[in-house]
Amino acid sequence: MERTRRLRQTAAMRDMVRENHVRIDELIYPVFVIEGENICNPVESMPGIYQYSIDRLQEELNRIREAGIKAILIFGIPAHKDEVGSGAYDDQGIVPRAIRFIKEKMPQLIVIADVCLCEYTSHGHCGLIRGQEILNDETLPLLAKASVCYAAAGADIIAPSDMMDGRVEAIRRALDEKGYLNTPIMSYSAKFASSYYGPFRDAAHSAPGFGDRKTYQMDPANGREAMREIAQDIAEGADMIIAKPALAYMDIIKDASQNYNIPIVAYNVSGEYAMVKAAAKEGWIDEKKIVMENMVGLKRAGAKMIITYHALDVAKWITEEN
Ligand code: PBG
Ligand code: ZN
Which uninterrupted H or E stretch holds 58?
helix 57-67
Select from 142, 169, 146, 141 the least CA-distant residue to 158.
Answer: 146
pLDDT of residue 14: 98
Beta pairing partners, 157 = 112
Ligand number nearest to the C-alpha of 75: 1
pTM here? 0.98
Q: How many CB atoms lie within 10 A of CB 13?
A: 12
Q: Is the dihedral of CA 71, 36, 268, 133 positive or negative?
A: negative
Dist CA 158 CA 188 (whole Å): 10
pLDDT of residue 11: 97
- 288 belongs to the catalytic site: no
Which uninterrupted H or E stretch holds 300?
helix 287-301
Dist CA 143 CA 266 (whole Å): 22
Q: Which atom in ligand 1 lies closest to the alpha carbon of residue 206?
A: 10
Residue environment code for 304-321, b if the CB has 16+ CB neighbours within 10 A, otherwise e:
bbbbbbbbbbbbbbbeee
pLDDT of residue 33: 98
Residue minimizing CA distance to atom 6 of ligand 1: 161
**List 244, 277, 304, 316, catalytic entry:** 244
Task: Report the separation in Å between the CA atom of 132 and the middle of ligand 2, taken as the mean of its atom positions.
Answer: 16
Which of 118, 167, 213, 308 is the best mutation target for the ligand 1 pocket, counting ligand atoms within 8 Å of the beta carbon and taking the most? 118
Radius of gyration of the chain (CA): 20
Select from 247, 248, 276, 244 the least CA-distant residue to 46.
Answer: 276
pLDDT of residue 236: 98
pLDDT of residue 95: 98
Task: Report the separation in Å between the CA atom of 285 and the middle of ligand 2, taken as the mean of its atom positions.
Answer: 32
pLDDT of residue 322: 80
Where does ligand 1 bind, in terms of residues with CB under 6 Å? 114, 116, 118, 126, 161, 197, 200-201, 206, 213, 269-270
Q: What is the pLDDT along the chain (322 residues), one digit of tens a residue?
A: 999 999 999 999 999 999 999 999 999 999 999 999 999 999 999 999 999 999 999 999 999 999 999 999 999 999 999 999 999 999 999 999 999 999 999 999 999 999 999 999 999 999 999 999 999 999 999 999 999 999 999 999 999 999 999 999 999 999 999 999 999 999 999 999 999 999 999 899 999 999 999 999 999 999 999 999 999 999 999 999 999 999 999 999 999 999 999 999 999 999 999 999 999 999 999 999 999 999 999 999 999 999 999 999 999 999 998 8
78 three-state secondary structure: coil
- 244 belongs to the catalytic site: yes
pLDDT of residue 36: 98
